[in-house]
Amino acid sequence: MTAEPDPKGLIREAYRIEGITEAECRSIFFDWALALPEGAAPRAAIEALLARHADAPEDHPMTRVLREGLAESATPRRRGGARRRARD
């Protein structure tokens, strides 16, 4: 059995808030992501959330944010490190 992808109901509530903005959805998504248990698979959780809320309007800001999160989890990028530092 897989873990509940939204145990605090943050994403569910975002879909219920009328007039919610994309910026507010990004903040909620960030809070949700920080609450994921260690070792959780964010991609699988996002996919489950998108499936759960598939009946939401296609242009809902939370749907857009979840899709962006899904795209980001598919293409991890290295940030920082010796190659990114300025050389003397």
Give 2-32 pLDDT, tens digit per residue.
Answer: 678 999 999 999 999 999 999 999 999 999 9
Task: Indicate yes or no: pTM above 0.85.
Answer: no
Residue 55 maps to a domain:
yes
Residues making up the chain, counted from first to last: 88
Residue 39 maps to a domain:
yes
Is the model's pLDDT at 60 over the cut of 70? yes
Residue 15 maps to a domain:
yes
Range of the domain at 47: 10-74
Per mean pLDDT, which range of 12-21, 33-42, 70-79 is the poorest?
Answer: 70-79
DSSP the chain: -PPPS-TT-HHHHHHHSTT--HHHHHHHHHHHHHTSPTT--HHHHHHHHHHHTTTS-TT-HHHHHHHHHHHHHHS-----SGGGSPP-
Domain count, the chain: 1
Residue 2 maps to a domain:
no
